[in-house]
Every structure is written in C-alpha cells, then in structure tokens.
A and B are shown apart, each in its own frame.
Chain A
Amino acid sequence: MINYNIILNAVGQHLFLAYSALIISIIIAIPLAVLSLYNRYLASILLLFANLIQAIPSFAVVAIVVPLLGIGFKPAIFAIILRIILPLFKNTFTGLRDVEFIYLDSARGIGLNQWEILRYIRFPHAFPAIFAGIKFSAVIANSVAILTSLIGAGGLGELIFEGLTNFNIPKVLTGAIPAIIIAILLDVSFSLIEKRITLKY
C-alpha cells in the first residue's frame, strides 16, 4: 500500500524546493546586508519591511504569489524566498552592524580600510547571528515548502493534501511523518553546528 518511490520522490522535491530557496535567499540577503551597512536609507526601509512582512501568515504569502506568478515550482520558490529573505537579512545586518565600538576603533587605528574591517572584524563577529538566521530560515523554508504544494509545487505537501481530500489518513501520514523527521533532523543538526560555532567565537 505504501509506495516508497512516491514518498522518496516527494521528499526529494520538497528538499530541493526548500533548499534552493534557502541558498538563493542567502546569496541575496548577505550582500544586501553589507550594502545596508553603508546606506542608512536602504537599511531603514528593509528593516521596516522585515518587521512588517514577518507578521503576515505564510499561507497568505503563498497564495498572493499565484495572481502574480501563476502556479508551479517557480512561484513556489519565490514564495519561500519572500518569506525567509528578510529574517536572513535582518540577522546578518544586525550581526554586522552591532560590533562594539572598541573593536572598530582599534581596527581603524591600526590602519584597516573598510573592506578589511568588514572581512576581518565584522563578519567573524556576525557569524553566530548569521548562522542563527540561517537556522531560523531553514525551519521556515521547510514549513512553507509544505504549503506550496497547494499551488502546484509537488513535494510532501501534495501527499498530505491528496490524503486530506480523500479522507485517506494513511496517505496523509506518508506526507506528514517524513516532514516531521526532516524537521527534527534539521533542528538537531543545526543546533550541533551552532554549538560548535559559538564555541569557536
């Protein structure tokens, strides 16, 4: 009754969806954060949006993408990115920005330029915050990826929804259980890495 192929397929789609979104978001968010360090205007706008948009339910975000981009894989990735890019940005930005004045002052004092300060002082300092942001976003990406099956992106959510419509509980579980396992694995592995990183810094 349980077709492992289908499940594996779904898991694959799910992971691909979530992680491509995550990687794209990281690639965009970090440069944005760096830019915002030097442009107050950009920083305040982005921070404002970050706080506002976080309050909006994921479901609504996923739905709104449809009139704009249609259904399917691409809109789904877009929806996930929308959801996670701002927390990533915020964490990276505050991590880079909130270095204690003493360190910046001595760095400037010994003659480092802005780029070197960025690379050798700010980024190392920001590492824990950036990592926390990535962990947070990975969890959310995982969640939203399930929802996106509603708009035709496949994945584990699809199994769940099909099961729901047919009142087929076992089918629902075939989608739900892997999702839970992935979530727990995510959390555990990220926490382990987090511990090692915070020990280092």
Chain B
Amino acid sequence: MIAQVWKTQQLTIKTVEHLSMVFMALLFIIIIGVTIGVFLYNKKNLSDIVLNILNVIETIPELVLLVILMPFFGIGFKPTLVASILYSILPVARNTYVGLTQVDRQYLESARAMGLSEREILWNIRIPLALPMIAAGIRIAIVFTMGVVTLGGLIAAGGLGGPIQTGIHLYDKDIILVTGLWIGILAVLVDSIGSWVERYLNRRYGYD
C-alpha cells in the first residue's frame, strides 16, 4: 500500500520540493531574524513595538496569512515562502534580542574592565553566549516553516501538502495516512536535528 501511494503521488519529488522550500525559507528567516534581533539590541526602545507587531502576525491563522499574500505574490511557491518567513521571524528575532541583552552582568563587567570596546564585547562575548538561545529560536522557526510549507500545497506550491489535499478530495484513506504519517515522521526528524544542534550549542557556549 505504501509503495503504491508513494509512486502515484510522487512522494519522492514532493519530499524534495518540500524540504527545499523549507531550507530556502530558513535561510531568509535566519538572516532577517538575526539581523532584526541585533538591530533591536542596538535600538532597545524600538524592541517593544517591533516585537509586538511580529507577535500579532503570529496570532493570525497560517492559512489566512497565506491567503492574504496571494493578491501580491500570486499562488504557488512565492506566497508560501513569504508567509513562512513572516511567520517565523518572531522566534528568531526575539530569541536573538533576548539572548544578546540577557548576558550575565559579571561577564560584561569583566569584559568592559579588560578594555574591550562595545563592539568587541558584542562579537566576542554577547553573540557566542547568545547562540544557544538563537538556536532555540531557529528550532521553533523550523517547526513553523514546516507547517506553512505543508499548507502551501493547498495553493499549488508543490511539496507534500498537495498529496494530502488530493487524499482529502478523493476521500482516499490510504493516501492520507501514508502522506500524513510521512510528514509527521519527517517533521519529527527535522526537529530532532534541530534539538541536537541546540544541545550541542548549549554545551559549547552555555552557562551551566
């Protein structure tokens, strides 16, 4: 049964499409998210406003977000990518900001007293010590992105969302089960990689 569904729904290609979209989105998310985080660190008075706006975007149902972008980006790959990015920036930006600002005072005091400039402190102390937190944020972003990309299947973006939609339309239990479970496994696998990276960074750069 599995083999048949796999073939007819072309799951291999869809999986590749799916993961490529996630990967591409992640690149943008990390770059934009961390940049915003650092920017907010430099301009702390803006942090509340910006984080609040991003927070509001978070509460909007993903499908709705996707759909709203369609007038601007058409259907398919583009709006899916943009929706993923918009949705996932918050965890990365917020964690970057918090990680950078909440470094233990004794380290900052030692660094200042040693004669490090604010810039040197940022690069040598704050950023390394913030990495575990940033990684945690990226991990959350990955989960979000997987979700949005799956939804993208509904608006012809390719990826594994398509077969699921087909399965529902045809009311074909096999298709739904196989694809659904496969997405689940994939998601858990990807998240485990994320968790492994997070744990590694915690050991290397963490406080305990």
Q: Is the CB of A59 within 8 A of B164?
A: yes
- Whether A52 contacts B168 by the Cβ 8 Å rule is no
B143–A54 CB distance below 8 A: yes
Q: Which residue of B has the minimal Cβ distance to A152?
A: B168
CB nearest neighbor in B for A161: B154
Complex Cα gap A176–B63 (Å): 9
Instruction: Say yes or no for B122: interface residue by CB 8 A criterion.
Output: no
Complex interface: chain B residues within 8 A of A179 (CB): 60-61, 64
Q: Find out whether the CB atom of B147 lies under 8 angstroms from the CB atom of A160.
A: no
Q: Which residues of B contact A150 (CB under 8 A)?
A: 154, 165, 168
Give the interface segment out of B37-45, B94-102, B174-182. Answer: B174-182
User: Which residue of B150, B155, B184 contacts A164 across the interface (Cβ within 8 Å)?
Assistant: B155
Residues on the A chain within 8 Å of B58, using CB: 139
Q: Are B164 and A63 in contact, with the CB atoms below 8 A? A: yes
B167 at the interface (CB under 8 A from A): yes
* CA A157 to CA B191, docked complex, whole Å: 28
Tell me if A160 and B164 are in contact (CB < 8 A). Answer: no
Q: Is B136 an interface residue (CB 8 A)?
A: no
Summed over the interface, the residue pairs from A and B with CB atoms below 8 Å come to a total of 107
Smallest distance from the beta carbon of B145 to chain A beta carbons, Å?
10
Query: How far, in Å, is B132 (CB) from chain A's closest CB?
Result: 17
Task: Say how far A146's CB is from chain B's closest CB, in angstroms.
Answer: 5
B67 pairs with A57, CB closer than 8 A: no
Contacts of B59 in A (CB 8 A): 139, 142, 183-184, 186-187
Asked if B62 CB lies within 8 Å of chain A CBs, one says yes
Report the minimum CB–CB distance from B176 to chain A (whole Å): 5
Cβ of B73 to closest chain A Cβ, rounded Å: 13
**Could you say which residues of chain B place their CB within 8 Å of the CB of A60?**
150, 164, 179-180, 183-184, 187
Known: A143-B61, A183-B60, A187-B59. A164 touches B67 (CB 8 A): yes
In the bound complex, CA of A54 to CA of B179 (Å): 18
**Smallest CB-CB separation from A146: which chain B residue?**
B61
Beta-carbon nearest neighbor of B160 in chain A: A60
How far is A187 from B153 in the complex, measured between Cα atoms in Å?
Answer: 28
Judged by a CB distance under 8 angstroms, whether B93 is at the interface is no
CB pair A57–B183 under 8 Å, yes or no, is yes
Contacts of A172 in B (CB 8 A): 67, 70
In the complex, per-residue mask of B144-169: 1 if CB is within 8 Å of any chain A CB, else 0? 00110111011100000100110110
Residues B168 and A176 in contact, CB atoms below 8 Å apart: no
Decide if B180 touches A64 in the complex (CB within 8 Å): yes
Among A66, A139, A143, A160, the residue within 8 A (CB) of B176 is A66
State whether the Cβ of B9 lies closer than 8 Å to any Cβ in chain A.
no
B167 CB contacts on chain A under 8 angstroms: 63, 66
Is the C-beta of A169 less than 8 angstroms from some C-beta in chain B?
A: yes
Could you tell me the distance in whole angstroms from the C-beta of B186 to the nearest C-beta in chain A?
9
Q: Which of B38-91 contact A (CB under 8 A)?
A: 55-56, 58-64, 67-68, 70-71
A59 touches B67 (CB 8 A): no
Q: Would you call A57 and B151 a contact (CB within 8 A)?
A: yes
Interface residues of A in 62-116 (CB under 8 A from B): 63-64, 66-67, 71
List the 6 closest pairs (A to B, CB-CB), nearest first. A67-B173, A55-B191, A143-B61, A57-B147, A57-B150, A64-B180
Chain A residues proximal to chain B, CB less than 8 Å: 52, 54-61, 63-64, 66-67, 71, 139, 142-143, 145-147, 150-151, 157, 160, 164, 169, 172, 175-176, 179-180, 183-184, 186-187
Instruction: Please report B residues at the A interface, Cβ cutoff 8 Å.
Output: 55-56, 58-64, 67-68, 70-71, 143, 146-147, 149-151, 153-155, 161, 164-165, 167-168, 171, 173, 176-177, 179-181, 183-184, 187-188, 190-191
